[in-house]
A and B are shown apart, each in its own frame.
Chain A
């Protein structure tokens, strides 16, 4: 058995060393793509399963309790069983990619799939896309970890997992690839592009094999004219306003629910259940708010949604409220699908207002504006116009709406930035100062820790050391500074720099009369090993010093200098920017 293990290990090492690294990564990307696709298929089936289970009770008088039950159970599962905490997970993936080379917990490969399917299947207003992105990314990350890939390769596999998951769940490989590059990785690199594209294709192909090649939202052929394209600019204003309202509403609801839970002593899962109860209540009057809402979107695109401006406006407000109650109160799910529903409603509302105001104009069908609204809102919420364009283009299969689609997506993104400078996925990271893309000054400084760049070849001296002994001792040192320690306690008491000693060196008479304690600098600024380098540099600038002692628990540990820091900084920068 042991010899078999050795044989396998030797074979693996031989394979790795002979195989071209890029080709190896491509093969892995396809594997991750298949796994990500399977995760998306599993989530799809689970949502269908929970939905059909809940459908049996929809007519019951207590059916409004179903979203509460689903949200409560899903958060209980996340908190108590898998101990992962709630949220949709995409910011966690972005954080892992930007700060920790794509390291994601193994449990994230499955946790949100189960939890979000319970939330959505029971009627919670949330989407399956963010959870499946988390699952796909975690699969890629853990495959990379298992195979001991380096940071850069692991990040690519995280992207592959995400791209395949989006590609699979929407049957939209292009959107998966663009979403990964635009939102998750935040950079377009040719080295990333090939594996991520192939992973998206592999994930989509898995989905097509198991579900068939279906377009999620079949659209009719729209005849789009110039006035429709110009009107799309107006729609961008509406979708930007709605996007800002959603983002602010979610944030306010999150803060409110946190305070309410604190006052009422609610656990996280009871808080989520309470949010679900409100959703169930709204769902009694507006069933369109329940679940991911794709059926309602199909109706809107087909132009068969109920008549009247007020109805659409109320449905839009109800969906916004239901989404805030689901996600703002801790339910597990994403904002992607609710954004599509709200976008479609916003587009429909805008079209009906246009028809009301300009009845003489031959506007394109309202289904087209529903599509444009979806793109506009998604572009605003994610601040990712390309993702919105490609997603709507792929999931509707219609090319004729491309021009207004581009107009509404681009303008909505720009306008939304006036109200919310960062996307829904990035705003918390930006607020916490945690969005640190590789190669930036702050990221490089953060990745260097004081203990690893500390100079340890210093010679500590005692306070009562005579100048004569010091003159002899300093010959063995490569450094110009010497930490002074108390001989009884070992505590750091000050520093002696060679410049401090130089005036006394020419007078032999002083050699046996001057102690180092008399020459040392006492008021020396010190740093702790846990301090961050940005703070250390600030102190160096402020005090005009080039090196500082590192002291912990009154013990001298080493020195930190600008010169050593610069060496390490350049090395780290090369690693992060891939120049090595």
Chain B
């Protein structure tokens, strides 16, 4: 018997800049591979709000990244990029505003591409959107790479925790839906990961291990992979000052990433029973 195949919805904030176009190309590729429906927002103001269940998040865009120069031209460019991969552009019309200059963006999507501000004050607002959004969003957050390049595999980072198991489950689904090989990057002690996975899951192409003082596995990580990992969104100070695996990963690898926050992991766990 045929069953209803649910098509996920992917939300993308289009920044009409060279980097923004690269980001949309990656989102378009993601949608095409997954059969997702893209919803594109061409910003009309330098910031917008997203009201989640228990928190409101303000997303700030760089000064040059919003459609001050002309939203219709930006929308036309975005539609062209989507049409190149056979997708129809659906543009989000803002219906509600907290203040006239502060649009509210709906939050009922399945994925969202996080806008990356190219701002001179990045040292202060380092990864701000990437910190807050994964922490509260009930969907995974896609962080595009600087340059668009189709990925040829999925790499899942697994630290052996319960939430990492949800991330692994998502990565498995993505690999199956996108028909791509799945690699696993184990973090920390191998025994913990083995205990978490219990038995070797099927369909894993490569196992890689990242343990302190034990070799350099970074060279083995495929450069053309979509990296799926858990991201909890630490506190502002911790995120800005302390080192983290997420930062290390972003510094070392040029790949696009999919951050799965606690709410998104919870959704995945509950939907998988």
A residues touching B (Cβ–Cβ < 8 Å)? 83, 85, 87, 91-92, 95-96, 99-100, 103-105, 107, 145, 148, 428, 432, 434, 446, 449, 451-452, 456-462, 473, 476, 490, 528-530, 532, 552-558
A95–B98 alpha-carbon span in the complex (Å): 7
B246 at the binding interface (Cβ < 8 Å): no
Q: Chain A residues with Cβ under 8 A from B4's Cβ? A: 456-460, 556, 558
Minimum distance in angstroms from B33 CB to a CB of chain A: 14
Q: Is B92 an interface residue (CB 8 A)?
A: yes
In the assembly, what is the distance between CA of A451 and CA of B2, in Å? 21
- A103 CA to B2 CA, complexed, in Å: 43
From known contacts A456-B4, A473-B2, A529-B108, infer whether A103 and B51 are also in contact, taking CB-CB under 8 Å.
yes
CB contacts under 8 Å to A, within B39-90, are 39, 47, 49, 51, 54-56, 58, 60, 87-88, 90
- Give 30 pairs: A residue, B residue, CB < 8 Å, sorted on A: A85-B47, A85-B102, A91-B99, A95-B98, A96-B56, A100-B56, A107-B58, A148-B54, A434-B96, A446-B96, A449-B106, A449-B108, A451-B9, A456-B4, A456-B6, A459-B1, A459-B3, A460-B4, A462-B2, A490-B5, A528-B90, A529-B9, A529-B108, A530-B90, A530-B92, A552-B7, A552-B9, A554-B88, A556-B7, A557-B37
Q: Choose one: A96, A100, A428, A558; the contact of B100 (CB below 8 Å).
A: A428
In the complex, which residue of chain A has the Cβ closest to the Cβ of B11? A530
Residues of A within 8 A of B49 (CB): 105
Tell me the nearest residue of chain B to A459, going by C-beta. B2
A104, A529, A554: most-surrounded residue (chain B CB, <10 A): A529
Question: Which residues 193-238 of B sit at the A interface, judged by CB distance below 8 A?
Answer: none
Cβ–Cβ contact A451 & B108, under 8 A? yes
Neighbouring B residues of A92 by C-beta, 8 Å: 98-99
**A555 contact from B37, B39, B58, Cβ within 8 A:** B37
B93 partner residues in chain A, CB cutoff 8 A: 530
On chain B, the residues within 8 Å of A148 by CB distance are 54
| Closest chain A CB from B111 CB (angstroms) | 13
Additional pairs, 4, CB under 8 Å, beyond known A459-B4, A530-B93, A556-B4: A92-B98, A452-B108, A473-B2, A553-B7
Count of inter-chain pairs, beta carbons less than 8 A: 92
A461 lies within 8 A of B2 (CB): yes
For A145, what are the chain B residues with a Cβ–Cβ distance below 8 Å? 54-55
Count of chain B residues with Cβ under 8 Å from any Cβ of A?
A: 37
CA distance A555 to B47 in the complex (A): 31
Which of A87, A459, A529, A553 contacts B88 (CB under 8 A)? A553
Whole-angstrom distance between the alpha carbons of A283 and B99 in the complex?
A: 31
Bound Cα distance from A473 to B9, whole angstroms: 28
Candidates B38, B92, B106; contact of A553 at CB < 8 Å: B38
Across the interface, do A103 and B56 meet the contact criterion of CB distance under 8 Å?
yes
Chain B nearest CB: distance from A231 CB in Å? 41
Query: Interface residues of B: mostly helix, strand, loop or mixed?
Result: loop
Question: Cβ of A532 and Cβ of B95 under 8 Å apart?
Answer: yes
What 8 A-B pairs are tightest by C-beta distance, nearest first?
A: A553-B37, A552-B37, A555-B7, A103-B56, A100-B51, A451-B108, A449-B108, A458-B4
Q: Are A85 and B99 in contact, CB atoms less than 8 angstroms apart?
A: yes
Nearest B-chain residue to A489, judged by Cβ: B86
Residues of B within 8 A of A (CB): 1-7, 9, 31, 35-39, 47, 49, 51, 54-56, 58, 60, 87-88, 90, 92-93, 95-102, 106, 108
Do residues B97 and A434 form an inter-chain contact, with CB atoms below 8 A?
A: yes
Q: How far is the CA of A359 from the CA of B99 in the complex (A)?
A: 50
Q: What A residues does B37 contact at CB under 8 A?
A: 552-553, 555, 557
Contact of A490 with B35 at beta-carbon distance under 8 Å, contacts A552-B7, A553-B90 already known: yes
**Closest residue of A by beta carbon distance from B49:** A105
Which chain A residue lies CB-closest to B102?
Answer: A85
Given A85-B99, A100-B51, A530-B39, A557-B7 contact (CB < 8 Å): yes
A83→B58 contact, CB < 8 A: yes
Output the least CB separation between A433 and chain B (Å): 9
Bound-state CA distance A85–B98 (Å) is 11
Closest B residue to A446 by beta carbon equals: B96
B90 partner, pick from A432, A490, A552, beta carbons under 8 A: A552
Contacts known (A145-B55, A528-B90, A553-B88); A432 close to B97, Cβ less than 8 A: yes
Inside 8 A of A96's CB, which chain B residues have their CB?
56, 98
Nearest chain-A residue to B57 (Cβ)?
A105
Closest to A461 in B: B2
Choose among A460, A528, A530 the residue with the greatest number of B CB atoms under 10 Å from its CB. Answer: A530
Residues of B within 8 A of A556 (CB): 4, 7
Docked pose: A473 CA to B95 CA in angstroms = 41
CB distance from A179 to the nearest CB of B (A): 21
Distance in angstroms from A336 CB to nearest chain B CB is 19
Min C-beta distance of A258 to chain B, whole Å:
10
A490 to B7, CA, bound (A): 11
**Which residues from chain B contact A532 at a C-beta distance below 8 Å?**
95
Q: Which residues of B contact A91 (CB under 8 A)?
A: 99
CA distance A331 to B227 in the complex (A): 46
